[in-house]
Amino acid sequence: MKQYYSQQSARKHLIFLLFLLCLVSCTKSYITDVLFEQKELLSGNSLKLTKWKLAETIIDHTAQNGSSAAYEQQYFPNGSFADNQDCKGNWNMLSADSIMVSYLNFYSGVRVTQGYRIENLTTDQLTLTYTSNGKKIQLSYVAVK
């Protein structure tokens, strides 16, 4: 009787472990696909790259009139970054809702790394937020067509 219980118990454990293994492997694939899709939305692909134009800057819920209205930036699929003010650097998306950008500060000559939370990312819009000196800064971009 004990041997039958052990075999039945072992089968249940084996089935549970196989189910758990399948669940974990499927979840990893889904996360990788979402991250790939977000990266492609941000940078575009080899056929069409995406350039982002700053549409609005909001600091602590207050819109900044005319701030950087001509500012444009681009994230390339190879992980490099450039804007229309000759700033160049690198970017990395570690999760589907955050991005790290590293570049050389013009004025100080110091390498700066800035983390952004991705609030919205579609083919037409990009909204990033970060905190600086205790103030929440929201940057809204539109895709340049």
pLDDT in tens, 81-96: 999 988 999 999 989 9
d(CA 11, CA 68): 65
* Other CB atoms within 10 Å distance of the CB of residue 118: 18
pLDDT in tens, 31-58: 568 999 999 999 998 788 999 999 999 9
pTM for the full predicted model: 0.75
Locate all alpha helices (DSSP H) within the chain, ordered by sequence.
2-43
Distance from the Cα of residue 28 to its chain's centroid: 17
Domains and CATH numbers, the chain: 41-144 (2.40.128.280)
| 106 residue type, one letter | F
